[in-house]
Amino acid sequence: MTETESNVYDVVVIGAGPVGENVADRTRAAGLSTAIVESELVGGECSYWACMPSKALLRPVIARADARRTPGLRQAVQGPLDTAAVLEHRDYYTSDWKDDGQVQWIEGIGADLYRGLGRLAGPRTVEVTGPGGERRVLTARHAVAVCTGSRAALPPLPGLADVRPWTSREATSAHQVPGRLIVVGGGVVAVEMATAWQALGARVTVLVRGGGLLDRMEPFAGELVAAALTEAGADLRTGTSVKSVSRENGTVVAVTDSGERIEADEILFATGRAPRTDDIGLDTVGLAPGSWLTTDDSLRVTGHDWLYAVGDVNHRALLTHQGKYQARIAGAAIVARASGTSGLDAGPWGAHAATADHTAVPQVVFTDPEAASVGLTLAEAEQAGHRVRAVDVDLATVAGAGLYADGYRGRARMVVDLEDEIVRGVTFVGPGVGEMIHSATVAVAGQVPVSRLWHAVPSYPTISEVWLRLLESYRDS
């Protein structure tokens, strides 16, 4: 350990993923001196092991599926995907796991980057231990923002450590297609990676403890995705838990709760996320290591007027776009409070409060078919005490869907509040619906009255004409 260096900044950000970068961008733009600390690659999980590589893997899969449903193209795309080209495409979008460009960006905004593990060492203090053991102590005049994100949570199964299982990181960065792949889980990571590796040639077995896939969406979303995975050749088993795993002569053996042995070359556990807070010094400020951090709507940690928790780490919405949204709000709140104004009231865009986290969180699952949702499901709306009605439309009845693909299969649901006459939630499932969800997000976040939505005329012939069909169904029901 070298001699301690002390550095004072207005703001110190722990974590240089998209969330931390956006906090730093906002505070630097306002003239606050800012340090950002990163223990891995600048750009974070999304850039190297999540959003970007997963979608780079999935885009050729979905494009081929769409082409196979298009007259004049289907015969030309019956062969296998070019695996080497797909993986090369993925590697391009991860910059071959090098962060030079992201480092240049941080330098460009005038923030200082510290490589190493950042830990809180008391109020407004961050200790950075560098790769060579050197130690620096950073002091924040106004705020410390914890943007360390989340990591894959593995179950406490016998033999798991010796198996060297895949998590989302290995699933998005693997350079060879496993002959056989077991996917444990039924959420977004599970279905997306099952879709990608099945299309690339793996024989995929999906083991779901519950009764279906995508259980945080409307039930029909998981049903349609499950049907497509099965048709593609995946072996989908619901109501199945893994009790133990082992590796025998290089082969993974998973034993289920029924005693069945399933063999594979690799096993992916997509069984949830945990906060990356176990080793960042939370105990030095009276917080529990390894815990999710509770915040107010300006992303300030409860009971700490100088500490912010932004992105996955606060467990409000574990999505990159929501984390970036929170980062913009947190950055503005930090700036407002540093200038002596209220962080909740100041700013040209209104109150600095992450209200969308409560009512209008959009998400797209990039499977074939795609599933996209925003706001509350019917069950969630009813549980919240709203008097609502669900309106469903078969997307195959929309003219634009038939033009998009032969044999188009999909479904749309709009959940309408019968008292306020606004849309509480929307779910689309079908090819190409990912690009449609923002219109629903505007309707939900803006609390647009149903009477006004009649005057938002969808273009013909597009799949977006489903909005007209949903409104007609609501009127006639």
For residues 245 and 237, the answer to whether their CB atoms sit within 8 Å is no
Q: Are strands 411-417 and 388-394 parallel, antiparallel or unpaired?
A: antiparallel
Query: Alpha helices of 384-477 — where are they, by DSSP H?
Result: 399-404, 437-445, 450-453, 466-476
Average pLDDT score over residue span 256-272? 97
**Residue 471: beta bridge partners?**
none
* Mean pLDDT, residues 294-322 taken together: 97
Is the model's pLDDT at 124 over the cut of 60? yes
User: What are the φ and ψ backbone dihedral angles of 101, each rounded to 5 degrees?
Assistant: -65, -40
Question: Residue 10 is encoded by which pair of tokens?
Answer: 């207005």
pLDDT digits (tens, 9 = 90+) for 173-199: 999 999 999 999 999 999 999 999 999
CATH number of 160-272: 3.50.50.60
Question: Collapsing DSSP states into helix, strand and coil, what is residue 20?
Answer: helix
**Calpha distance 351→243 (Å, rounded):** 49
Residue % of the chain over a pLDDT of 90: 95
Q: What is the pLDDT of residues 450-461, one digit of tens each?
A: 999 999 999 999
The domain 5-43+99-151+275-356 is placed in CATH, from the list 3.50.50.60, 3.30.365.10, 3.40.50.300, 3.20.20.10, at 3.50.50.60
Integer Rg of the chain from CA? 24
Whether the CA torsion 456, 458, 464, 466 is positive or negative: it is positive
Q: What is residue 456's predicted lDDT score, i.e. its pLDDT?
A: 97
CA–CA dist 70, 217 (Å, integer) = 29
Phi, psi of 255 (to 5 degrees): -105, 125
Structure tokens at 273: 């996320």
Mean pLDDT of the 322-349 span: 81
Query: What confidence tier does 356 reach under pLDDT thresholds 50, 70, 90?
Result: very high
Note whether 204 and 235 are within 8 A (CB). Answer: yes
Contact in structure between 73 and 67 (CB atoms under 8 Å): yes
Coil, helix or strand at residue 477:
coil
Asked if CATH classification 3.30.390.30 holds for the domain at 369-476, the reply, yes or no, is yes
Split at pLDDT 50, 70, 90, the class of 411 is very high
pLDDT band at 347 (very low <50, low <70, confident <90, very high): very low
**Using an 8 Å Cβ cutoff, are 191 and 225 in contact?**
yes
Domain with CATH 3.50.50.60 in the chain: 5-43+99-151+275-356, 160-272
> Of the candidates 61, 54, 56, which has an alpha carbon nearest to the alpha carbon of residue 81?
61
What's the distance, CA 5 to chain centroid? 37
For 106: left if phi > 0, alpha if psi spans -120 to 50, otherwise beta; the answer is: alpha
The CATH 3.30.390.30 domain(s) of the chain lie at 369-476
Alpha helices in 69-135 (DSSP H): 83-93, 100-109
Written as one letter, the residue type at 179 is G
Contact residues for 75 (Cβ-Cβ < 8 A; gap 6+): none
Q: Tokens at residue 59, please?
A: 């885009």
Nearest to 214 by CA among 202, 227, 206, 223: 223
